């Protein structure tokens, strides 16, 4: 066996080192506890903000605004008018349920093919220039697959960027690129 000699600090110095390490571990635990509490408060705040937004409690109601029921009736009447104005075409194809596009529901009004080139960018600007992807998706009225296809197009053209400041991808926002 080989003998190796190394210096060992004095017992008082060893105790001081142990005390400092324990103190730093205690501080790290306290910081972690504060982080978890803040994250939990942020999650609750996000949920309560969304709930208030859906209840219409975030901004005062403008009495000059058209009521939602009237707006929905007007949109429905416009759709019926457009459907009546369109000439019906017959094609040689059979209408088969296997040809149906998945994830399309009656609530999705906008079709990807009908979306303007800067559709999501314009919606993002209406939302103040930044938003979470889920909020933008709901506002877009696109099917989820169409939304992400359109988002990819607009991100590749550098119109929209993802704010990567948050380490949690769920908390990241989409932003207008030149902001």
Query: What pLDDT shows up at residue 154?
Result: 87
**DSSP class of residue 88?**
P
Query: What pLDDT shows up at residue 22?
Result: 97
Just give the CATH number of 108-179.
Answer: 1.10.10.10
Order of strands across the sheet that contains 160-162: 130-131, 174-176, 160-162
Average pLDDT per 10 consecutive residues for the chain, totaling 179 residues: 89 96 96 95 88 79 78 89 76 51 53 82 87 87 87 88 78 77
Query: What pLDDT shows up at residue 97?
Result: 47
pLDDT in tens, 108-149: 577 777 788 888 888 888 988 888 888 888 888 888 888 888
Q: Return the H-helix or E-strand segment holding 29.
A: helix 11-55
pTM (2 d.p.): 0.39
Query: What pLDDT shows up at residue 104?
Result: 45
* Residue pointed to by tokens 């209408």: 95
Domain range list for the chain: 10-59, 108-179
- The total of other beta-carbon atoms located within 10 Å of residue 17's CB is 11
């Amino acid at each position: 066996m080989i003998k190796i000699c190394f210096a060992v600090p004095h017992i008082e110095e060893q105790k001081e080192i142990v005390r400092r390490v324990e103190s730093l571990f205690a501080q790290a635990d306290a910081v972690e506890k504060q982080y978890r509490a803040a994250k939990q408060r942020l999650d609750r705040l996000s949920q309560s903000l969304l709930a208030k937004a859906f209840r219409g409690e975030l901004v005062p109601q403008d009495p000059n605004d058209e009521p939602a029921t009237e707006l929905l009736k007007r949109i429905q009447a416009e759709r019926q008018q457009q459907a009546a104005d369109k000439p019906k075409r017959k094609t040689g194809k059979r209408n088969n349920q296997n040809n149906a596009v998945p994830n399309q529901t009656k609530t999705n009004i906008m079709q990807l093919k009908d979306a303007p080139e800067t559709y999501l960018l314009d919606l993002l600007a209406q939302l103040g220039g930044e938003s979470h992807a889920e909020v933008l998706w709901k506002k877009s009225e696109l099917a989820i697959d169409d939304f992400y296809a359109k988002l990819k197009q607009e991100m590749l053209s550098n119109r929209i960027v993802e704010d990567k400041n948050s380490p949690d991808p769920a908390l990241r926002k989409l932003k207008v690129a030149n902001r």
